[in-house]
């Protein structure tokens, strides 16, 4: 049922969006789609909002916290979307991450059914394994956003991972045991990005906060975390619009930013 819906929607192999993906630039090879898009934004004529850069082979992909994003050429989705959320204030900046994470989660839930979640801040998980991640790079002028480069990497048709990723990463192939069309999955993700981005533009923050929390990995569950070398049990109470994670340890609520806290198994 879930897969039928997905296939039907994607049989139409064109973007049914108003702007996200309408200007699609497909590269056979690039260092990083985020770098390419950033350079395009700084150099060229005004770039249409919603421009997507997709690469078959991204050989120097960047992940969060200066990590490298490795991906097998031709097997996975590596793309970047250009957005101009100039209507958003800086303290609300994480609402953009929420909108995009929800969108990717929705498209993957169409494909995989239950089990897909968002691991704070914006990793895409299937059960306890990482299916993909995002690198969102914002350019800010004064107190407003100028532009956002939304880089998304998803493990799609890759069958095997390096040994150090065993028990950490998974792919659509490993879950469904079949290849799926990268273009069709990209099309579906773009249409979900557009509808959630339009909710952000319409200031429907309540919807976005609820949808994000509903999909949040380990939300309201007791698990182990590490902060400054100290290991403790806590449960996630929520994520602020600024992106801070709120943990409840015993009776005490504390807020953490991305670099301060580690999820343990
Ligand atoms: C992470 O989980 O660490 C984030 C990974 C983000 C990878 C994507 S792939 C497309 C875009 N270009 C990059 O260089 N990085 C992002």
Residue 34 Cα, ligand 1 centroid: separation in angstroms? Answer: 8
How high is the pLDDT of residue 145?
83
- Maximal CA-CA distance, the chain: 55
* Residue range(s) occupied by CATH 3.30.930.10 in the chain: 4-214
Ligand 1 pocket residue status of 155, Cβ below 6 Å:
no
Phi, psi of 194 (to 5 degrees): -60, -45
Is residue 121 in contact with ligand 1, taking CB distance under 6 Å? no
CATH 2.30.30-classified regions of the chain: 222-263
* Nearest-atom index, ligand 1, CA of 67: 3
Residue to substitute in 27, 34, 79, 118 for testing ligand 1 pocket (most ligand atoms within 8 angstroms of CB): 34
C-beta 98 within 6 A of ligand 1: no
At 9 the pLDDT is: 37
- DSSP class of residue 260 equals G
The parts of the chain modelled with pLDDT lower than 70 are 1-13, 44
Ligand 1 centroid, distance to 133 Cα (angstroms): 6
Q: How far is the centre of ligand 1, averaged over its atoms, from the C-alpha of 1 (Å)? A: 31
- Whether 110 lines ligand 1, by a CB cut-off of 6 Å, is no
CATH of domain 4-214: 3.30.930.10
CA 103, chain centre distance (Å)? 8
Give the pLDDT confidence score for residue 44 in this predicted structure: 67
C-beta of residue 67 within 8 angstroms of C-beta of residue 155? no
Distance of CA 219 to the CA centre of its chain: 18
Q: Distance (Å, rounded) from C-alpha 177 to C-alpha 111?
A: 13
* Peptide bond between residue 121 and the one before it cis (omega within 30 degrees of 0): yes
Q: Give the CATH number of domain 222-263; options: 2.60.40, 2.30.30, 3.20.170, 2.60.120.
A: 2.30.30
């Amino acid at each position: 049922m879930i897969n039928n819906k997905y296939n039907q929607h994607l049989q139409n192999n064109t973007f049914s969006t108003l702007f996200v993906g309408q200007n699609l630039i497909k590269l056979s090879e690039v260092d990083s789609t985020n770098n390419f898009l950033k350079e395009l934004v700084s150099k060229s004529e005004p770039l249409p909002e919603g421009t997507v850069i997709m690469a078959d082979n991204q050989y120097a992909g960047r992940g969060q916290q200066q990590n490298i994003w490795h991906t097998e050429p031709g097997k996975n989705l590596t793309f970047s979307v250009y957005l101009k959320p100039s209507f958003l204030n800086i303290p609300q900046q994480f609402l953009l991450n929420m909108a995009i994470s929800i969108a990717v989660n929705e498209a993957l839930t169409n494909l995989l059914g239950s089990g897909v979640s968002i691991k704070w801040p914006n990793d895409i998980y299937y059960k306890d394994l990482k299916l993909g991640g995002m690198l969102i790079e914002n350019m800010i002028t004064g107190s407003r956003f100028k532009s956002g480069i939304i880089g998304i990497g998803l493990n799609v048709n890759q069958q095997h991972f390096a040994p150090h990723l065993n028990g950490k990463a998974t792919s659509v192939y490993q879950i469904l045991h079949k290849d799926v069309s990268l273009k069709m999955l990209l099309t579906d993700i773009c249409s979900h990005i557009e509808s959630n981005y339009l909710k952000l533009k319409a200031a429907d923050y309540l919807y976005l906060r609820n949808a994000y929390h509903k999909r949040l990995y380990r939300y309201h569950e007791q698990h182990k975390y590490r902060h400054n070398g100290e290991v403790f049990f806590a449960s996630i109470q929520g994520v602020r619009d600024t992106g801070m994670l709120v943990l409840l340890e015993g009776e005490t609520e504390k807020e953490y930013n991305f670099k301060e806290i580690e999820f343990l198994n």
